Amino acid sequence: MIEDEQSVRFDWRRGGAAAVGLLLALVLVAMVFAVKFANDARERALSAERQANQVAVVVRNVSANISRWNGSLSRLLNGYSNGTPYPTVNYIHEVVGN
């Protein structure tokens, strides 16, 4: 036990160093959590961007298919407009060159 003539003296150097060490450890833990939250937000943004790109590809494919169908229907109806049951232009000859 401590006797009456001995007083307890707080050593500011050791206690201050411990307090600074604890504070820096808490700052480090806070930085780790900040990086974790930033990475989570980045992953969510990448997922949303991936989904937007997939939607754009699907819309482009649908638009291309509709344009092809529209062209095919136009060629078919242009052939029927002059009274013949078949298209007047043979597109196979255009591709082959005969």
Residue-wise pLDDT for 10-20, tens only, equals: 666 777 888 88
Q: What is the pTM of this model?
A: 0.49
Q: Is the Cα dihedral 45, 46, 47, 48 positive or negative? A: positive
For 57, the token pair is 């590809």
pLDDT for 98 equals: 46
In a domain, 23, yes or no: yes
In a domain, 86, yes or no: yes
Report pLDDT digits (tens) over 30-60.
999 999 999 999 999 999 999 999 999 999 9
* Dist CA 79 CA 58 (whole Å): 32
In a domain, 5, yes or no: no
* Dist CA 43 CA 74 (whole Å): 47
Give the mean model confidence (pLDDT) for residues 82-98. 53
In a domain, 66, yes or no: yes
What residues contact 2, with CB distance under 8 A and at least 6 apart? 8
Task: Give the domain extent around 47.
Answer: 13-96
In a domain, 26, yes or no: yes
| DSSP letter, residue 43 | H
- Total domains present in the chain: 1
In a domain, 4, yes or no: no
In a domain, 1, yes or no: no
pLDDT for 5 equals: 58
